[in-house]
A and B are shown apart, each in its own frame.
Chain A
Amino acid sequence: MKLVRCSLSTFGFEMTPAPAVQAYCYINRINRGEWVDLLIDTGASETCLHGIYALDLQEYMRDDTLEVSYGIGGIRCAYYHERATLLFRDEKSQPLSRVVMIGIQQFTEEDFNDPDNLEDCLECPSLLGRDILSRWELRYNHQKEDITLRVP
């Protein structure tokens, strides 16, 4: 069993801290990688990049990979999809990889034409979803700040 140590993070917001983990996200097709701070979200069906992590990828995205998603409160937004390798650091400092079809938030022309709205969109954290969590075990003790991902 391998362990990935996680933490609690506010992601900049004034809110109860949420479980978080950092990973390197590499998209092979476009040969680009970046470090991402992910909110661990058992409510998200897929791992997805939002905000600042999705912004610079827009120019590389393919329209035929777009899918509409529904969020809390019926919010509709669209995501591009790319095969990505996520590298986590386990407790022995070894890389632990998972390959997923990652969702990448679409920014529309309207978003780009409204700078205030775009700024708001950029604040949204990226999510580690059930495509990864369903194969791992999440241990979450908020009081003791003990959050681990256990990988069989």
Chain B
Amino acid sequence: MGTRGVLLDKALGSVGGKEEFERKSRQYSESVHFIDAGRKELLKEYDGNWIAVYESNVVAHGRKYDDVVKTIRQKGLPIEEIALKFLSSRRMMTLF
């Protein structure tokens, strides 16, 4: 096996194998899409807040990122799999 194969195996091992990769990948993408698709509604409640979404549910929110992370940890949720976004209705020009 070449270096690339070894690195792929290690990365897949870190995520829990192929099946877990697929499950976690879907979960994360769906949670990201949940935020985008529901942005208008979510803004009514969470404007100016960080929101944490897991399995398409808002599991934590708050004005400070640290507070949201603390809540996620207290709930024992896997932080590396959670979609975390700062929601803002403030119009801005973004040049990345």
Interface residues of A (CB under 8 A from B): 7-15, 17-18, 20, 22, 24, 26, 28, 31-35, 37, 39, 41, 43-44, 52, 72-73, 85, 87, 89, 93, 95, 97, 99, 119, 122-125, 127
Contacts and interface: CB of A to CB of B under 8 A. Distances in A.
B32 A12 contact: no
A87 B15 contact: yes
Interface SS of B by simple majority: helix
Contacts of A28: 7, 10-11
B57 to A, nearest CB: 16
16 contacts: A7-B32, A12-B35, A13-B92, A20-B32, A22-B29, A28-B11, A33-B80, A35-B25, A72-B95, A89-B29, A95-B8, A97-B11, A99-B4, A99-B7, A119-B65, A123-B88
B96 to A, nearest CB: 6
Contact of A14 (B80, B92, B95): B92
Contacts, number: 108
Contact of A85 (B11, B18, B83, B92): B11
Nearest to B7: A85
Contacts of B95: 72-73
Contacts of B8: 85, 87, 95, 97
A125 B28 CA distance: 16
Contacts of A95: 8, 12, 18, 21
A1 B87 CA distance: 37
